[in-house]
Amino acid sequence: MAASVLKRCVTAAVKVKCLSPSLLARRWLLSAAYTDTKVWEAREKDPQNLAILAANMDRTYDRNLPVSSLTVSRFVDNISSREEIDQAEYYLYKFRHSPNCWYLRDWTVHGWIRECLKYGAREKALHTLKNKVQYGIFPDDFTFNLLIDSYIKDEDFKSACSVVEEVMLQEAFDLPSTQILSLYALGSYLATKPQLTEPQERALGASLLICGLQQDNTIGLSAQLLGNALLGKVEILKGIHAVFKGMPLYWARGYLDRALAVMERVAAASGDVKLSKDTLDNVNDLLQELSSNSTSDTDSSGEESGGEEDKKQEAVDEKDEAEKARLPEYINRFKELSSQLESQGKVDSASFQALVTAVAQQNLAAAEKVDLEQYQSRVQAWDSEKRQLIQREKEMKERAEQEKRERLAATAAAQLG
């Protein structure tokens, strides 16, 4: 559903041949209404003294008893300074390593990210997100959008892509707004021509591929092409296991082959679907780099000792070597398909970044409207669930006090008897 909505949205945008400098200079970001805290702050308040809460949690942990998710929620909800962000981080970590770790509430995660943004501790939000297993921070789409947008506004596209990587790992590209923001961040970062390490190429490749799969248009197919190519580069250099380990990716070999299949699909397609020129240029540069590396490896192989050669064979298995041997074939196919696409008029002169910028300009506002409606309903549901937890806590305390009085009465009666 979300993919089809975005597909309809980008139809006009993908026809753009070029964009004016003034349009490219503008940053199409989330509106003030989207990032406004009014709906969040309008929730029913539960004021707490953080010093008392902290002391109670420490005492509970010292007794090897579980702290409730409601207690952690109260602590995060009552943060009022940058220093208290650090304290909350500690208790999020403690809770994650407690028997109740599975019960961290969605509104607590959302509130944590909001508080980090509010008090200038965005690096803490990113740290706990990148170390989600240690902190239990698994945001929803709306929360991801807030964090990505905050980095885009500061033109910190590298950090924005780090957040997009986490979206990819959670496979949370369901909302059109998340797709637009993610592709904008990825495109803007790649436009800076960064020097990427292999882990960064793998992360960017997976993010481009999985996000691109959500749509069947020029932007989506260009993202799929470059994503597969980046993953294919890692596969050629390090083997298939280095590609899919810890990633929600297809485990079969042949990512460069799948990149070329995207080009073949566009060449065979009817309609206005194209591939962006700068994406094709990036793939061409990538293939030429791999070819140079392959030649260099061949020249130096004769100088290796027998022991070193044996170790190399252990690191890369025969099937990986067979895939690597297909590199010249892939390069020739790429050249043929590039010429075919050019002759068919299926190479869009607008850059990938320009295409995504046009989509953001035209359609982000409409995507926001749906998100905000869902967010308001979600906050109401969270409030309802929280009231139920508070009521349950109250009943349990009353029951415990009643049982304590009964025990004391029974003890007193036994002593008198």
Residue 333 has pLDDT above 50, yes or no: yes
Residues 148 and 269 in one domain: yes
Q: What is the pLDDT of residue 411?
A: 85
Token pair in block for residue 162 = 């780090």
197 burial via Cβ count (<10 Å: 0-12, 13-18, 19+):
exposed
Q: What is the DSSP letter of 304?
A: S
| Distances, alpha carbon 10 to alpha carbons 77, 179, 180, 272, in Å | 39, 12, 10, 11
Q: What is the pLDDT of residue 293?
A: 85
Q: b/e for 247-270, b at 16 or more Cβ within 10 A?
A: bebeeebbbbbbbbbbbeebbeee
Residues 147 and 227 in one domain: yes
Helix (H, G, I), strand (E, B) or coil at 276: strand
Residue 417 to residue 310: CA distance in whole angstroms: 87
Q: What is the DSSP letter of 275?
A: E
Evaluate whether residue 407 is within a structural domain: no
Residue 274 to residue 399: CA distance in whole angstroms: 67
Residue 300 has pLDDT above 90, yes or no: no
Q: pTM for this structure? A: 0.88
Q: What is the pLDDT of residue 400?
A: 87
Evaluate whether residue 215 is within a structural domain: yes
Residue 149 has pLDDT above 80, yes or no: yes
Please indicate whether residue 236 or residue 297 has the higher confidence score (pLDDT).
236
State the average pLDDT over residues 185-210.
96
Helix (H, G, I), strand (E, B) or coil at 37: coil
Residues 188 and 51 in one domain: no
Evaluate whether residue 304 is within a structural domain: no
Summarised one tens digit per residue, pLDDT across range 96-121 is 999 999 999 999 999 999 999 999 99
Query: Among the ranges 122-136, 287-301, 391-405, which has the highest mean pLDDT value?
Result: 122-136
State the average pLDDT over residues 266-281.
95
Q: Give the confidence band of 297 by pLDDT, cuts at 50, 70, 90.
A: low
Query: What single string gives the DSSP state of each residue in 30-47?
Result: --HHHH--HHHHTSPP--
Q: What is the pLDDT of residue 7?
A: 46
Helix%, strand%, coil% for the chain, nearest 5: 75, 0, 25
CA 212 to chain centroid:
13
Q: b/e for 146-174, b at 16 or more Cβ within 10 A?
A: bbbbbbbeeeebebbbbbbbbbbbeebbe
Phi/psi at 276 (5° precision): -75, 145
* Amino acid code (one letter) for 148: I
| Distances, alpha carbon 208 to alpha carbons 179, 202, 414, in Å | 10, 10, 74
Residue 221 has pLDDT above 80, yes or no: yes
Residue 12 has pLDDT above 70, yes or no: no
Owner of token pair 């139920």: 388
Residue 90 has pLDDT above 50, yes or no: yes
Residues 221 and 329 in one domain: yes
Poorest-pLDDT segment among 8-22, 155-169, 339-353: 8-22
Q: What is the pLDDT of residue 48?
A: 95
Evaluate whether residue 255 is within a structural domain: yes
Q: What is the DSSP letter of 191?
A: H
State the average pLDDT over residues 361-390.
96
Q: Give the confidence band of 296 by pLDDT, cuts at 50, 70, 90.
A: low
Query: What single string gives the DSSP state of each residue in 329-371?
Result: HHHHHHHHHHHHHHHTT-EESS-HHHHHHHHHHHHHHHHHHHH
State the average pLDDT over residues 199-225.
96
State the helix-helix crossing angle for 141-153 and 176-191, rounded to 10 degrees: 30
Evaluate whether residue 414 is within a structural domain: no
**CB contact set of 296 (below 8 Å; sequence gap of 6+):** none
Helices (H) then strands (E): counts for the chain:
22, 2
Summarised one tens digit per residue, pLDDT across range 122-140 is 999 999 999 999 999 999 9
Residues 146 and 126 in one domain: no
Residues 125 and 185 in one domain: no
Residues 189 and 121 in one domain: no
Poorest-pLDDT segment among 33-47, 300-314, 395-409: 300-314
| Share of residues in the chain with pLDDT > 90 (%) | 80
Q: Count up the domains in the chain and report the number.
A: 2
Q: What is the pLDDT of residue 327?
A: 97
Residues 389 and 241 in one domain: yes
* Amino acid code (one letter) for 94: K
Evaluate whether residue 11 is within a structural domain: no
User: Domain range spanning residue 332?
Assistant: 140-293+319-394
CB atoms within 10 A of CB 308: 11
* Amino acid code (one letter) for 268: A
Q: Mean pLDDT for the chain? A: 89
Helix (H, G, I), strand (E, B) or coil at 269: coil
Residues 119 and 156 in one domain: no
CA nearest neighbour of 258 among 315, 197, 311, 206: 206
State the average pLDDT over residues 29-33.
92
* Amino acid code (one letter) for 368: E
Residues 355 and 240 in one domain: yes
Q: Give the confidence band of 298 by pLDDT, cuts at 50, 70, 90.
A: low
Poorest-pLDDT segment among 144-148, 172-176, 404-408: 404-408
Evaluate whether residue 254 is within a structural domain: yes
Token pair in block for residue 196 = 């990427």
CA 27 to chain centroid:
20
Evaluate whether residue 24 is within a structural domain: no
| Share of residues in the chain with pLDDT > 70 (%) | 88
